[in-house]
Amino acid sequence: MGYIEQNPCTGYSERYVKNGNGMRVTRHEEIEKVFCGKPHVVILGAGASYASLPNGDKNGRKLPLMNNLISTLSLQDLIKPIESLNSSFNFEEIYSRLSSDPKAIEIVKELENSIYSYFKELSLPEQATIYDYLVLSLREKDVIATFNWDPFLVQAITRNGRRFKMPKVLFLHGNVGVGYCENGHSMGHVGSACANCGGKLYAIPLLYPIENKNYHLNDFISRQWSVLSEALEKAPLVTIFGYGAPSSDVSAVDLLKGAWGNPNLRTIEQIEIIDVKKEEELKETWSFLIHSHHYSVRDDFFNSWISKHPRRTCEAFLNQYIEAKFIEDNNIERFTDLSKVWLWFDELQLYETFRENDN
């Protein structure tokens, strides 16, 4: 037996299931009650791609991290002429040293081309991956901002977006799956035409020397950061998945700090970290975002807030942390067959459509 009352946040009538004193939100209530318009911001690093495809891509290609990129791509011979370098160095340090050496111009070009070509060939398998679950678990109001060069997020958005409304995506370090219009109109596949002006969509630079990552010098990257800043200002919930905020990336960390502001003034917001590192290390790394105890650490995507409350993450957050209600989880069911995944998510989008029609 249910009852009807008006939601003071939205002004619309809501149908509730009777649950005693009203301090408990059932799974079905969470699915049916769609009311939050604030964005959930998700920030991705290389760890997210590695967690999604630990055995490599569709064709078994390994996913390199910064500390093994040279060896994974077999580029040792390329940097061998520079005696001060060896393949055990962090890749960003290697690239930075080469970029500052006038004698290494040709090596830098070959290095950039090799990296772009390798990442360009990566492909999601036909089976469902964490990337698929991630994009399906967020809504149009939400934002995924990635530091990753690989095309997995683009591919997941493309194949799931044919059936579901997808979150906004931002590319903070460039991406091999995306081209941009020099006139600032749109982004799409590299080499295709801008839908607005007909101009060619150009590849985005991927590599920047660590001591001089002037993202603002590239119009596309600058706009991506601007959109992220606006989203972070409004976000009640931020998830950081597999990104370590490396000390070498001072520019990125400064931009995140500036967008989030003083954590002591973000007294309601919650930070979620999905990473395999120890909690104390992660808390220290992200202390510039965390207010007091307002954070959680998960070592598995499928234990995260996103996985437990798909497409209702901010509603669940408000119910638990603002309304102080007990909430049931709505854990996503895991399938290898993507069509079965879609069937499971259909109900969630159905109620979102009902809300849109009410509006």
pLDDT of amino acid 250: 79
Reply yes or no on whether the pLDDT at 18 is more than 80: no
User: Does the structure show a pLDDT above 50 at 5?
Assistant: no
For position 330, what pLDDT does the model report?
Answer: 97
The chain-wide mean pLDDT, for the chain, equals 87
Distance CA 93, CA 95 (A): 6
Q: Name which residue leads in pLDDT, 359 or 303.
A: 303
112 vs 295, residue with greater confidence = 295
pTM of the model: 0.89
Q: What is the pLDDT of residues 32-90, one digit of tens each?
A: 999 999 999 999 999 999 999 999 999 999 988 888 888 889 988 888 777 666 655 67
pLDDT at 181 over 70: yes
In tens, the pLDDT along 253-308 reads: 888 999 999 999 999 999 999 999 999 999 999 999 999 999 999 999 999 999 99
Residue 349's H or E segment, with its range, is helix 338-358
DSSP-assigned beta bridge partners for residue 329: none
Strands (E) in the chain, as ranges, are 2-6, 13-17, 24-25, 40-44, 143-146, 168-171, 179-181, 187-188, 201-203, 237-241, 270-274, 295-298, 326-327
Token representation of residue 296? 């959680």
Q: Can you tell me the distance from the alpha carbon of 243 to that of 172, in angstroms, rounded to the nearest whole number?
A: 12
**Rounded CA separation 253/109 (Å):** 27
Spatial separation of the C-alpha atoms in residues 252 and 44, rounded to whole Å:
13
283 or 2, which is more confident: 283
Higher pLDDT, 274 or 109: 274
Q: How far apart are CA 128 and CA 17, in angstroms?
A: 33
Query: How many angstroms separate the first and last alpha carbons of the chain?
Result: 25
Q: Which SS3 state, helix, strand or coil, does residue 235 take?
A: coil
Is residue 330 helix, strand or coil? coil
The DSSP letter of residue 64 is -
pLDDT over 80 at 241, yes or no: yes
